[in-house]
Amino acid sequence: MANRRHIRRLSEIVEQQDLLCTSPECTVRDVVRKMSERGVTTVLVIDDGCPCGIFTKRDLLNRVVAANRDAESTSVCDVMSADPICVDATETGLEAMRLMQDHNIHHLVVTGVDGKGYGILSTRDLTASELEMFQRELEIEKRLWEEL
């Protein structure tokens, strides 16, 4: 049977994303409050309309809590992962996985997302997307076998 596997573009993976953005000057406390309200673990930091960093709950734990920094007086730009790697929304999940593996990172900024401009892609997003596609393919294959 020919491989009919659908290759998902990053735009398909992040299209429903509830992206939270902040400015570099915001305090960690304010950003974490917004993260909690929205139920997200990653924030895109935007400066002059361009992504300059990503702040994650891992950054909060390692660079704020473990370093005993004051969340009220620390700016997110002081503890974010700066200069994030960007990838175009037309690229595939496979290319994103390669970039993450090559750079030993867990998040990419997706550019060119319709209507939003940006998105954030995590390893968890990729895994969930692949699992969803695999489950769909299994259902199709099951129906085909049942018809025989």
- The pLDDT value given to residue 1: 42
Any idea where the domains of the chain sit in the sequence?
Answer: 10-147
DSSP string, the chain: --------BHHHHHTT----EE-TTSBHHHHHHHHHHHT-SEEEEEETTEEEEEEEHHHIIIIIITTT--TTT-BGGGTSEES--EEETTSBHHHHHHHHHHHT-SEEEEEEETTTEEEEEEHHHHHHHHHHHHHHHHHHHHHHHHH-
The pLDDT, as a whole number, for residue 6 is 58
pLDDT of residue 2: 46
Strand order in the sheet with 107-113: 86-88, 107-113, 117-122
- pTM, rounded to two decimals: 0.84
pLDDT tens digit at each of 148 positions of the chain? 445 455 789 999 998 888 999 999 999 999 999 999 999 999 999 999 999 999 999 999 999 999 999 999 999 999 999 999 999 999 998 899 999 999 999 999 999 998 789 999 999 988 888 788 778 888 888 888 888 7
CATH class of 10-147: alpha beta
- pLDDT of 5 reads 55
